[in-house]
Amino acid sequence: MTILFKKYMANPEELRTMLGSPSIRGQNKVISAIDEHCREFIRKSPFVVLATSDAAGNCDSSPRGDAPGFVYVVDDQHLIIPERPGNKRADSMFNLLENPRVGLLFMIPGMGETLRINGEATIIRDEDILEKMAVNGKPPQLGIVVKVEQCFMHCGKAFKRSGLWEQKKWLAKEEQPNAAKIIADHVNLPGMTEEVVAEALLDGYKNKLY
């Protein structure tokens, strides 16, 4: 393999020396339970990114979204992410069966600060609990229970720099990457054209959300 880079970070001490030490505020902001502030944030959040890895350390980040408050807070130590219908790859859940460690990033549209939660997850299929997360009369088949170990707010600098919530900075529809074409090219199967993929995507968004 051709070596492209020459300067690597070699150890934690070198990295800490370069970055400096976190402030007292940065060190002390981490709590170990879902307090009333975290509960309110989760209640108002329609979107969370779920980060997992398998036993070998291969990582995956999966977006999860629904109406605000779709993540069910059980108590100050546990929350449940409903598993809605998807493409059946279930990368996150298969990872959890090998490695239960998870990271969550909760977002609220228009808000720069995010809520980060780290902990340990298990997969449940308790009908009486999952029924509480039903939408249009359809409860999820499975739920991901996260036992919370760390909760903390993350500043909004990334959102400020990116302008993510500033609509004037959004690409026009015709400038956006063509998801159907990308998928068709990646799948690379006979008959799997851009048009076929686009139709399947539209059908899924219209009829298979729950």
pLDDT of residue 6: 85
With a cut of 80, say whether residue 78 has pLDDT above it. yes
Pair 152, 177 in one domain: no
pLDDT of residue 2: 62
pLDDT of residue 10: 86
The pair of three-digit structure tokens given for residue 70, joined into one six-digit string: 């779709």
Task: Specify the number of domains making up the chain.
Answer: 2
Task: Write the pLDDT tens digit of every residue in 123-164.
Answer: 999 999 999 999 999 999 999 999 999 999 999 999 999 999
Task: Write the pLDDT tens digit of every residue in 120-132.
Answer: 999 999 999 999 9
Task: Write the pLDDT tens digit of every residue in 165-193.
Answer: 999 999 999 999 999 999 999 999 999 99
pLDDT of residue 147: 98
Pair 32, 99 in one domain: yes
Percent of the chain residues topping a pLDDT of 70:
99
pLDDT of residue 5: 87
Pair 178, 153 in one domain: no
Any idea how long the chain is? Answer: 210
In terms of pLDDT, which residue wins out, 87 or 45? 45
CA distance 172 to 84: 29
Average pLDDT, the chain: 95
Domain that holds residue 184: 171-207
CA distance 52 to 59: 6
CA distance 97 to 163: 37
Pair 33, 104 in one domain: yes
Pair 124, 189 in one domain: no
With a cut of 60, say whether residue 1 has pLDDT above it. no
Task: Write the pLDDT tens digit of every residue in 42-68.
Answer: 999 999 999 999 999 999 999 999 999
The pair of three-digit structure tokens given for residue 169, joined into one six-digit string: 């900075």
Pair 181, 129 in one domain: no
Pair 157, 179 in one domain: no
pLDDT of residue 4: 84
> Does some domain include residue 62?
yes
With a cut of 80, say whether residue 26 has pLDDT above it. yes
> Does some domain include residue 2?
no
Pair 116, 190 in one domain: no
How far is it between the farthest Cα atoms of the chain? Answer: 59
- 74 pLDDT tier (thresholds 50, 70, 90): very high
Of 122, 109, 139, 108, give the one whose Cα is nearest residue 77.
122
Pair 181, 155 in one domain: no
| Residue 45: other Cβ atoms inside 10 A | 22
Pair 96, 190 in one domain: no
Pair 126, 101 in one domain: yes
- Burial label for 79, CB within 10 Å (0-12, 13-18, 19+), is buried
